[in-house]
Structure 1
Amino acid sequence: MAVNVPGLIAIIVFYLVILAVGLGAAWYQKRKGVKEDVESIMVAGRDIGVFVGCFTMTATWVGGGYINGTAEVVYNPDFGLLWTQAPFGYAISLLLGGLFFAKKMRSEGYVTMLDPLQNKLGRVMGVFLYLPALLGELFWSAAILASLGKSLTVVSGLSDDIAIIVSACIAILYTLIGGLYSVAYTDVVQLICIFVGLWISIPFAFTNEAVGSIVESAKSNSSWLGTWDTNYTGSWIDSALLLIFGGIPWQVYFQRVLSSDSAKHAQLLSFAASFGCIIMAVPSILVGAIAASTNWSNTSYQEGLISPSANNETSAILPIVLQHLTPPAVAFVGLGAVSAAVMSSADSSILSSSSMFTRNVYKKLIRRKASSKEQLIVSRVAMVIVGVIATVLAIKINSIYALWYLCSDLIYTILFPQLLCVMYFDPNTYGSIIAFVVAAILRIGGGETLINFDPFIPYPGNSPTSLNFPFKTFSMLVSLILLLTVSYFVRALFTGGFLDPRYDILKCRLASGGRSIEQKEDNVSTPNGVENVAYDNSKL
């Protein structure tokens, strides 16, 4: 494919805008006298107000994977709008997160999502729980970078690999320098670019002579509305619940919560972002409907081939529509703005993963006496490593929407029960270990068609042609029940004298609200600067 010089220039201009905003935000904070330390990098000094907060919280999910993936599934004749669950699932997730987690987490003054888990369950268990969180962030970053690669390839003629690598390098650069300040302020530009770029393009796509009526297309056999397949009812329910509850325990979400200037605002931002997710999905849904209603043989797409789906390019349907159904000038504006904007979502996941590693693995387990400067260095090295891994995944994995589901799977089945219990109940490390292992076995045992991994647990109703048993939700519920029952049962054995507390190798808490036999204080700064003393329940 020949390089499209005007398109490439448009991409460069938009990229420079995003880079300038990210670097400018970092410079502005330093000019204000904000001290460059771990807390300013990870939670922006807890100084994000309502205006910027609404944008950055919405950008928790609205990025390249979100807008490209939504258009992809609406257009795909095997799915359609009925199976496009992510926009609605994540919107409900933000609503529930605001109701039950945001205010509570911000009031406690935590720095990462793993802090309450590690304080309650011990340092080593916190590291194990970091693994599903890390995988989720890596897959999410890869989804964003993959969507960028598709967009840039269409508009500029560059190869996918080059587009992905360049995008990743720019995102890593300003995140290294500005941390969450740069992430938050580029999010403002990101959402504005997505909204304006897509809505400018849609009227031109609608009026293209190759596009038929989306109303008539909805009534056809290959309707973009989708059809209900009773053989996959359980799978639909499973996926919906996965997105709703699996969308809560993400550091990329809680870093916004914990950076808010107050607990009340943290809750408010979650509610606003829930509404924003639905609004931002509308243009992508329309793009998918337009693509499904287009006679592609009357377009310039690959010299009039039948359709993008015939060429296995459904994941690139949004940039294809903008490139081939709108005038060149409009296409450059739409694709350039969207491509540059969605790049800024990758920075959030890169920052999230590195923050959890630096604080919850390096500082609390490897080097407990690490200075703030040392943690900053470790955080930046981790950002580069995470960015490189996400880039490789983006190059190797095809479907953007497939990555979405992989993102939330382990987080839903393993991490959600742990966070819920730590916040509202009194689990211990014994229950946590059992729940972790069993949930992983049950989930992996169900197999994964996206990576051609065959199941080894014969769940009822599941076969190569039917997925009617919600085994992911089943795995989560079993994990939740085991976490509580094992925790309280083991505690009862020690408090009832059946087991000698001196042999409690995991230092199980002897009573609800009580302290472990051996404690180690861990000072966590609170919003008002007062030290909030929390306790590790394990010397592991």
Structure 2
Amino acid sequence: MALDVGGLVAVVVFYVLILAIGIWASRKSKKEEEKCVGSKSEVTMVGGRNINILVGVFTMTATWVGGGYIMGTAEAVYSPSQGLIWALGPLAYLITFLLAGLFFAKPMRSQRYVTMMDPFQRRYGNSITTALLLPALISDVLWVACILAALGGTMSVILGLSSSYSIALSAAVAITYTLMGGLYSVAYTDVIQLFFIFIALWLCVPFLVLNPASSEVTLAAFFNQSQQAPLMGELKLEHAGKWIDELLLLALGGLSYQALYQRILSAASSTQAQVTCFAAAGIVVIMGVPSVIIGAVAASTDWNQTAYGLPSPFARGEAGKVLPLALHYLTPPWVSVVGIGAVAAAVMSSMDSALLSSASMFTHNIYKSTLKAQASDRECVWVIRVSVLLVGLAGTGLAFAEDSVFAFWLMSGDLIYCVVFPQLICVLHCRCANGYGATAGYLVAVTLRLLSGEPLLRLPTALLFPGWREEGGVIRQYFPFRTLVMLSSLVCIPLASSLATLAFSHRLLPRSWDLLAALGEEEERGKEGDDGKPAVTEKLLATSSTSC
């Protein structure tokens, strides 16, 4: 396929615009640092806790409306084996934001934490926090790989540009402005990117629906009862467990991303943080509608009437690229270029968030708290920048290895759903949780998840759940095993915590063996106020100093 020079120039212009906005926002970040009387590095991580509520809503939404969301939703609707009922993204993220606003925003923001890992560090100490941080970092790298793979596939189809070049270019732009301005650059570029995604995708929809190769069939698919089943998809009883598992993985796993709490913690108050979550819940569903329509159009298109020809994208194993294929073959060239701009915007709006969130956790919860407590603000800022670069390079490298955007999308949430999510619930809402319970829950979750196998990682399956089947030499689990792993960990944490506390308090075990300070944590929680909120202690102030 020949290189589309005009389209490439248009994309480069768009990238220059985004980079310019990022540079402008970095100057605003520097002004906030001058006003801040406390930690300057926290301006980079949480924006001085004064991000405008409108900007907060847009950056929250844009973080979730990434390349995986846009292309993964279209892929699910298009695939004959799935259909609309398997397009889980919009419903899952609606649940994510609603639950975040109801149960997580206030406890996190009211304590003025800097990262999602601060409550773990306060209660369990550095060692357990480091162990919990590892799956969160891996998930961010996989998330970066997911969204870059989405963009690479889009540009290769529409512009004829090698996916390697497009991935490298997009990664370079996102890394550059994230390095320069931290959360301010990320937030303000997200506003522009979200607007562009919405306008660009809806601009493409009329051209897709009215294309001669798809219009008549599309109308039949929507209004003819005989065509409803393939478009809507079918949820067989034996697949219900898998459907529930993937829905909860995306919905509840999303509650364990640092990117979510980075925006919650940047709000001026707990109430503003909750409003931001509720507003994002509505917008994220609206942003998924164009992808659903594009997937439906592709599913009902007679590809033999297009230059693409037969066999169909699904038969060729290109279902993951169905969105750019539909834009390229069913719309005029200039419209498809606008569409690729939307995907590029979605990719960068999510990638910059993943880069900054992982860099913030490593710098604040490992480097500053564990490796070098006396590190200066300037040094911490440089550690954030180096971390952004390393995570970006790791995710970029993985983006070349997998064609299915939807697969990366699921994998990015798998670890944190099984391992981190039950820990987060217990550290915020379970007063009895201690280091022994956290350790036991961690080991249970990791062990069960490894034994359950993972075809994408070629991990053999040792633990077979009801309903498993061997397909093409690969064992596939149709039982909601990830949810079972998560629940096992969730039950194990308070149970092991209570047993450890009883054993030491009743001297069934020598108190000198209490290396994780279970009794000390009980005494600390005994100092909590009548409202059940932990009192601000010197330990918290030492790990999460925020005076901006």
* Same fold at TM > 0.5: yes
Which residue number corresponds to residue 226 of structure 1? Answer: 233
Distance 1:340 1:522 in 2: 38
CA displacement at 1:146 relative to structure 2: 0.8
How far residue 49 of structure 1 moved from its aligned partner, in angstroms, is 1.4
Name the Cα RMSD after superposition. 2.0
SS of the residue 1:514 aligns to: helix
1:362-396 per-residue CA deviation (whole Å, 9 max, x = no partner) reads 11111111111111111111111000000011111
- Structure 2: which 5+ runs fail to align? 527-536
CA gap 1:339/1:521 in 2 versus in 1, 3 angstroms: closer
Return closer, same or farther for 1:319/1:384 CA change in 2, 3 Å cut-off. same
Taking the aligned partners of 1:327 and 1:413, their CA distance within structure 2 comes to: 44
How many angstroms apart in 1 are the aligned matches of 2:176 and 2:546? 32
Supply the distance in 1 between the matched residues of 2:73 and 2:346 (Cα, whole angstroms). 17
Structure 1 position 340, deviation (Å): 3.6
1:92 aligns with 2:95: yes
What's the offset of the Cα at 1:5? 0.6
1:104-119 paired onto structure 2 within 5 Å = 104-119=107-122
The CA deviation string for residues 25-59 of structure 1, in whole angstroms up to 9 with x for no partner, is 11233356455921011011111111101101112
Q: What residue identity is the alignment partner of 2:321?
A: A
Deviation at 1:141, TM superposition (A): 1.1
Q: Secondary structure at the match of 2:63?
A: coil
Q: C-alpha separation between the residues in 2 aligned to 1:103 and 1:432?
A: 23
Q: What CA distance in whole angstroms lies between the structure 2 residues aligned with 1:159 and 1:526?
A: 44
Which residue is 1:213 aligned to?
A: 217
The answer to which of 209-218 and 250-259 deviates more is: 209-218
Tell me, yes or no, if the aligned pair for 2:63 and 2:349 is still in contact at 8 Å. Answer: no
Partner of 1:350: 355
- Unaligned regions of 5+ residues in structure 1, if any? 531-540
Partner SS for 1:464:
strand
The alpha carbon displacement at 1:72 in A equals 0.9
Q: Aligned in 2, Cα 1:224/1:513: closer, same or farther, shift over 3 Å? A: farther
In 1, the alpha carbon distance for the partners of 2:543 and 2:131 equals 24
Of 386-395 and 339-348, more deviation after overlay is shown by 339-348
Establish whether residue 37 from structure 1 lines up as the match of residue 29 from structure 2. Answer: no
Kindly provide the CA deviation profile for residues 277-331 of structure 1, in whole angstroms up to 9, marking residues without a partner as x. Answer: 1100000000000001111111122xx2332222221111111111211112222
- 2:71 alignment partner, one of 49, 68, 73: 68
Say if 2:447 is the partner of 1:437.
no
Give the match for residue 105 of structure 2. 102
For 1:534, the equivalent position in structure 2 comes to none
Q: Secondary structure at the match of 2:65?
A: coil
**Against the structure 1 CA distance between its residues 220 and 515, is the aligned structure 2 distance closer, same or farther, given a 3 Å change threshold?**
closer
Alignment partner for residue 505 of structure 1, among 505, 510, 515?
Answer: 515
Q: What is the CA deviation profile of residues 69-128 of structure 1, one whole-angstrom value per residue up to 9, with x for unaligned ones?
A: 111111111111111112211110110011000111011000000000111111110000
In structure 1, C-alpha distance between the alignment counterparts of 2:387 and 2:283, rounded to whole Å: 31
Task: Check conservation: 2:186, 2:353, Cα contact below 8 A.
Answer: yes
| 1:178 correspondence with 2:181 | yes
- Whole-Å Cα distance in 2 between the matches of residues 113 and 311 of structure 1? 42
**Where does residue 529 of structure 2 map in the other structure?**
none
The answer on whether the counterparts of 1:98 and 1:271 sit within 8 Å (CA) in structure 2 is: yes
1:114-150 Cα shifts (integer Å, max 9, x gaps): 0001111111100000011111111111111111111
Q: Structure 1 stretch 223-232 or stretch 286-295: which is displaced more?
A: 223-232
Counterpart code for 1:523: L
Q: Which residue of 2 aligns with 1:391?
A: 396
Deviation, 1:512, is: 3.3
Inter-CA distance 486–7: structure 2 relative to 1 (3 Å threshold): same
Q: CA deviation at 1:524?
A: 5.8
**Alpha-carbon deviation of 1:503?**
2.4
Does the Cα contact within 8 Å between 2:168 and 2:396 map onto a contact in 1?
A: yes
Question: Match for residue 81 of structure 1?
Answer: 84
Give the C-alpha shift of residue 525 in structure 1.
8.6
Name which of 200, 204, 209 aligns with 1:201: 204
Equivalent in the alignment of 2:246? 239
1:523 aligns with 2:528: no
Counterparts of 2:201 and 2:539, CA distance in 1:
51
Deviation at 1:470, TM superposition (A): 1.4
Quick one: which amino acid aligns to residue 475 of structure 1?
V
Aligned length: 526
Aligned letter for 1:106? R
Q: Which amino acid aligns with 2:497?
A: S
The yes-or-no answer on 1:5 pairing with 2:23 is no
Distance in 1 of aligned mates of 2:228 and 2:202? 28
Among candidates 307, 312, 315, match of residue 312 of structure 2? 307
Instruction: Choose 151-160 or 183-192, whichever is displaced more.
Output: 151-160
- Measured at CA, do residues 65 and 213 of structure 1 come closer, stay the same or move farther in structure 2, by a change above 3 Å? same
Q: Alignment partner of 1:57: what SS?
A: helix
**Most deviating of 307-316 and 98-107:** 307-316
Residue number in structure 1 paired with 2:530:
none
Deviates more, 1:79-88 or 1:28-37: 28-37
Q: 1:316 aligns with which of 321, 325, 336?
A: 321
- The SS at the match of 2:161 is coil
Matched, 1:252 2:259: yes
Greater mean deviation of Cα atoms: 170-179 or 207-216 = 207-216
Task: Report the CA distance between 1:409 and its aligned residue.
Answer: 1.0
Opposite residue 256 of structure 1, the aligned amino acid is: R
Secondary structure at the aligned position of 1:512 is classed as helix
Residue identity opposite 2:407 in structure 1:
A
Distance 1:339 1:366, change over 3 A: same
Aligned to 2:452: 446
1:493 paired residue number = 503
Tell me, yes or no, if the aligned pair for 1:108 and 1:526 is still in contact at 8 Å: no
2:148 is aligned to 145
Structure 2: distance between partners of 1:135 and 1:333: 32
Aligned 8 A contact 1:495 1:511 in 2: no
Q: CA deviation at 1:62?
A: 0.6
Instruction: State how far apart, in whole Å, the 1-side matches of 2:520 and 2:372 are.
Output: 29
Cα deviation, residue 338, structure 1 = 3.2
- Supply the distance in 2 between the matched residues of 1:279 and 1:340 (Cα, whole angstroms): 17
CA distance in 2, matches of 1:203, 1:269: 31
Percent of pairs identical after alignment? 45
Aligned equivalents of 1:113 and 1:413: distance in 2?
Answer: 16
Checking the alignment, whether the CA contact within 8 Å between 1:491 and 1:511 is kept in structure 2 is no
CA drift of 1:445 comes to 1.4
Task: Pick which of 137-146 and 521-530 moved more.
Answer: 521-530
Identify the residue that residue 464 of structure 2 maps to in structure 1: 458
Distance 1:525 1:123 in 2: 10
| TM-score (norm. length: structure 1) | 0.93
2:378 maps to 1:360: no
In the alignment, which residue of structure 1 is the partner of 2:534? none
Say if 2:92 and 2:247, in contact at 8 Å, map to a contact too. yes
The code of the aligned residue for 1:491 comes to T
Query: What letter is aligned with 1:147?
Result: A
Deviation (angstroms), 1:452: 3.4
Q: CA, structure 1 residues 443+117, in 2 after alignment: closer, same or farther (shift >3 Å)?
A: same
Alignment counterpart, residue 332 of structure 1, candidates 329, 334, 337: 337
Q: How far apart in 2 are the matches of 1:339 and 1:243?
A: 22
Tell me the amino acid that sits aligned with residue 272 of structure 2: H
CA 1:376 to 1:186, structure 2 compared with 1: closer, same or farther past 3 Å? same
Larger displacement relative to structure 2 (335-344 or 366-375): 335-344
Q: Which amino acid aligns with 2:514?
A: D
Cα distance between partner residues in 1 of 2:544 and 2:464: 48
Match of 2:406 among 397, 401, 405: 401
